[in-house]
Amino acid sequence: MEGPGMTRVPSDERRAALIQAALAVIDRDGVSAATTRAIVAEAGMSLASFHYAFRSRDEMMRELIAFVVANEKRVTLAAVAPGTDIRTAVRAGLQAYFDLLVENPQREQALFELMNYSLRTPELDAVPAAQYASYFAAAGELLEYGALATGVTWSRPVQEVARILIAINDGYTLAWLADRDAVAAGRLMDFAADTIAALARPARPSPRPATPQEPQP
C-alpha cells in the first residue's frame, strides 16, 4: 500500500497497475463490482492514487478496453504469415483470437458485460461507442495488414469489411461463451474466413516505369 514517505510510482506504471487490478476485479466479480475503491484495494494503492492516474472511471475503462484490444491485435497480427492467401490469413487470425478467448473466457465475457453495463450507467454512457470504435479500428488495421501481406485489395471500403468481421466475431464469441462448442465455433470461423476472403481481389501491380529509349546515333 502506498503511503507517506514511500517512493512515488511513475504515472505510467501506476496506470498500468490500476488497469491490471481493474481487469482482475472484473474477471473475478463482474463489472458492477469494479468500483474505484475495489480497484485501488486490488492494486494496493490509495484512492488518491486512482485520481492521480485517471480523471474518471470512464477514462480508466477506455484505457482498459484499449489495453485488451491491443493485446488481441498483437496476437492476431502475429498469426498472419506473409506470402499466404487472404483466406488462410483471415482464418489464422480468427483462430489466434479464438485461442486467446479459450485461454481466458472471462476477459471477453467481461468486455460484453462492460458494454451492457455502460449502456445502463449514465456516467459510462460514452464507453460502448468508444469500445466498438476501438474494435473497428483494430479490425481495419488487421485487414489492411492482411491485404498487404497477401497481395490483395478490398472490394469494399475497409471500414465496412471491418464491421462485417466484428459482427461475425461477436456472434461466434457469444455462442462459444454460451455452449463452449469449439467445433461449431470452428465452422463459423471457416464461414467468416470465406465471407471476408470473398470481398478481396488481387491487387493491381504497380505500373513499371517506361524504359528510356536509347539515344539515336
| Contact criterion met (CB below 8 Å) for 188 and 171 | yes
Long-range contacts of 202-206 (CB under 8 A, 24+ apart): 202/151, 202/152, 202/153, 203/147, 203/151, 203/152, 203/153, 204/153
C-alpha 10/C-alpha 27 separation (Å) is 26
pLDDT of residue 208: 55
pLDDT of residue 3: 47
pLDDT of residue 27: 85
C-alpha 84/C-alpha 72 separation (Å) is 21
C-alpha 75/C-alpha 15 separation (Å) is 23
At residue 58, φ and ψ (nearest 5 deg) are -60, -45
Give 12-61 pLDDT, tens digit per residue.
Answer: 899 999 999 999 998 888 888 889 999 999 999 999 999 999 988 889 98
pTM over 0.85: no
pLDDT of residue 105: 92
List the Cα angle 101/13/58 in 5-degree steps.
65
Strand partners, 153: 201
Least confident of 81-85, 152-156, 209-213: 209-213
Give 157-181 pLDDT, tens digit per residue.
Answer: 999 999 999 999 999 999 999 999 9
Give 91-140 pLDDT, tens digit per residue.
Answer: 999 999 999 999 989 889 888 988 998 899 888 888 999 999 999 999 99
Q: How confident is the model at residue 146 (pLDDT cuts 50, 70, 90)?
A: very high
C-alpha 77/C-alpha 96 separation (Å) is 9
Domains and CATH numbers, the chain: 8-54 (1.10.10), 56-202 (1.10.357.10)
Q: How confident is the model at residue 213 (pLDDT cuts 50, 70, 90)?
A: low
Tell me the mean pLDDT in the region 71-83.
91
* SS3 label, residue 70: helix
Q: What percentage of the chain's residues is helix, strand, coil (to nearest 5)?
A: 75, 5, 25
